[in-house]
Structure 1
Amino acid sequence: MVETYAPLLLMLGIAFVVVVGFFLASHYLGPKKPSPEKSMPFESGNPSPGASHLRMSVKFFLTAISFVVFDVEVVFLYIWAVHFKSLGGAGLAMMTAFLAMLVIGLVYELRKGALEWES
């Protein structure tokens, strides 16, 4: 049984060693003395004209989260559609419940005004 997981464990071990190696290399080879000029924020090589920390509306984040949720939904729908015949009625019931939860969430978002920009 261990033989079947050996390639996966080897790949994970190599990936871990590479990541730790990159972190250590950047720590030891990187600059140690930041100057005020290096610490200033810049945009496209020019000093930024205003404050570097601007407040963003929460609506941007709500839209991004909604996009990710419905992106994942499409992935699950595609997998379900590919295996539709072999899943039978149980697969249809599970996907119906999954879609019902997402529709309830979408209706909740619409009622709370999360998708309206003008308010």
Structure 2
Amino acid sequence: MLDLSQYLPILLFLGVALALSGAFVVLPMLASRLTGSHQPTPEKLSEYECGFPAFEDSRSQFDVRFYLVAILFIIFDLEAAFIFPWAVSVFGIGWSAWIAMMIFIGELALGLAYAWKKGALDWE
């Protein structure tokens, strides 16, 4: 027969996680209602990021090149995240780790050269 008491810690953990996540959502909303910060004023509705009113629709489309540059940044940022632990332990791992990382860097260099040739990095 199946003993369901083994699942009690998991259910308790799930209950505490749901209660805390609900509290993190509900409590700030209640605090804003009680303190009156939910009532908009002209000062609260003013521009605060750039200091001047928006001159275009906020739902306008971005150029595809913006997304290409962002994706390339993420790829090379992840490359740095993979290279750092490798560099710390490369002498203990041996030549196979060095060769594998050179293949990895070579693939990324080929990808960068391809993106550069296609004009993904050109900004007008």
Bucket of the pairwise TM-score, normalised by the shorter protein? 0.5 to 0.7
Higher Cα Rg, which structure: 2
In the TM superposition, what are the counterparts of 1:20-31 in structure 2 within 5 Å? Answer: 20-26=22-28
Q: Which has the higher contact order (CA 8 A, sep 6+)?
A: 2
Matched AA of 2:27: A
Instruction: Give unmatched runs, 5+ long, in structure 2.
Output: 1-12, 34-40
Gaps of 5+ in 1: 1-9, 32-36
1:76 maps to which residue? 82
Q: What is the percentage of aligned positions where both structures have the same residue?
A: 34
Q: Tell me if structure 2 keeps the 8 A contact 1:42–1:48.
A: no
Structure 2 Cα separation of the partners of residues 13 and 98 of structure 1: 43
Count of aligned positions: 103
TM-score of the superposed pair, with normalisation by structure 1: 0.63
Does residue 57 of the first structure (1) align with residue 63 of the second (2)? yes
* Paired residue type of 1:113: G
SS at match of 1:116: coil
Change (3 A) 1:112 1:15: farther
| 1:59–1:115 contact (8 Å) kept in structure 2 | yes
Matches within 5 A, 1:7-46: 17-26=19-28, 43-44=47-48
Provide the TM-score with structure 2 as the length reference. Answer: 0.61
Equivalent-residue separation in structure 1 for 2:64 and 2:94 (angstroms): 42
